[in-house]
Amino acid sequence: MRNAGAGLVDWNEAWQAARARTNRRRGRESWDKRAPSFARAVAQSGYIEQVLARLPLDPSWDLLDVGCGSGTLAVPLAGKVRAVTALDYSPRMLDLLRERCAAEGLANVAPVLGAWEDDWAALGVGPHDVALASRSLTADDLRGALLKLDRAARRAVHVVAPVGSGPIDGRVFEVAGRGFTPGPDYIYPCALLHQMGVFASVDFVSIPDTRRYTGVEDALEGFAWMLTDPTPDELARLRDWVTRQLVEGEDGWRLAEPRTVQWAILSWKPGALR
């Protein structure tokens, strides 16, 4: 990793190096497969309420949700702003989003199939009052992604990024017998924004793991996705751990030793990045 400027770390290169070291690179097919279970897990977590409480919004504004998934924030945001453009590269996630919008009678959410690397203007995505990337900052070119968000916003940009390993539970890797290398967290975009001339405000939310499971297989699915191409032996060890971790309550099964996941919300006014 080379130095940028007068002895400064090049945080874009540092981001790329950290992403290259992690053993959890995932593509479109993986997210398509995980779409239904991901939507259920997020709905149970309390993440939505905590993040929305920290986003200043106006009913007359429109908002771009980059990496919208199945509508984790796009759907509740539709009731708070004039219109939401929901961009995601997973067709299955967007299918689930359309189903949710139809079920809730939402007509102000526009799903768009696209990725960080695409030409958003060619997809018909122009400037919005607010640009949001919630837990979706996965582009290899971090500088380019931040610039795209900045140029897509008129009033505010918000990025939600993990603190430490975020939702990835290192115990899963330990149980499976794998080494665990977490990906880059919020410090990388925060430091890069600083280098690009922006002092982003940073707020934190802490999300206790309150998920409930119907049983061992449901819980296993909730953890196995963290492993890329798990072997039968790894899944067997993980199933044994899950079985020992689960305790029964009135509303289902839960972990005896749940984690608390932290997220950082980086916010800035657009137009100052260089």
Q: Look-up: residue for tokens 């504004």?
A: 61
Mean pLDDT for 73-95 is 96
Closest to 219 measured CA to CA, from 92, 48, 96, 41: 41
Q: Provide the pLDDT for residue 250.
A: 81
* Amino acid letter, 153: A
For residue range 7-51, list pLDDT tens digits in order.
489 999 999 999 998 855 555 555 555 555 555 555 556 899 999
| Torsion of the alpha carbons at 39, 48, 11 and 31, rounded to the nearest 10 | 10
Q: Could you give the domains of the chain?
A: 7-168+182-210+259-268 (3.40.50.150), 211-257 (no CATH)
Q: Provide the pLDDT for residue 274.
A: 75
* H-assigned helices in the chain: 11-21, 28-45, 47-52, 74-77, 91-104, 142-151, 170-176, 187-195, 216-224, 232-245
Stated pTM of the model: 0.88
The answer to whether residues 203 and 190 touch, using CB atoms and an 8 Å cutoff, is no
Q: Provide the pLDDT for residue 194.
A: 95
Q: Provide the pLDDT for residue 211.
A: 85
Q: Provide the pLDDT for residue 4.
A: 44
Band (pLDDT 50/70/90 cuts) for residue 125 is very high
Q: Provide the pLDDT for residue 39.
A: 55
Give the Cα separation of 267 and 55 in Å (integer). 9
- For residue 43, the tally of other CB atoms under 10 A from its CB is 14
Is residue 1's pLDDT more than 50? no
Q: Provide the pLDDT for residue 37.
A: 57
Give the chain's mean pLDDT. 90
Q: Look-up: residue for tokens 């920290």?
A: 54
Q: Helix, strand, coil proportions of the chain in percent (round to 5)?
A: 35, 25, 40
Cα separation of the two ends of the chain: 21
Q: Provide the pLDDT for residue 2.
A: 39
Q: Please give the helix or strand (H or E) that residue 109 lies within, else none.
A: strand 109-113
Give the Cα separation of 243 and 191 in Å (integer). 41
For residue range 213-269, list pLDDT tens digits in order.
999 999 999 899 889 889 999 999 999 999 999 999 888 899 998 899 999 999 999
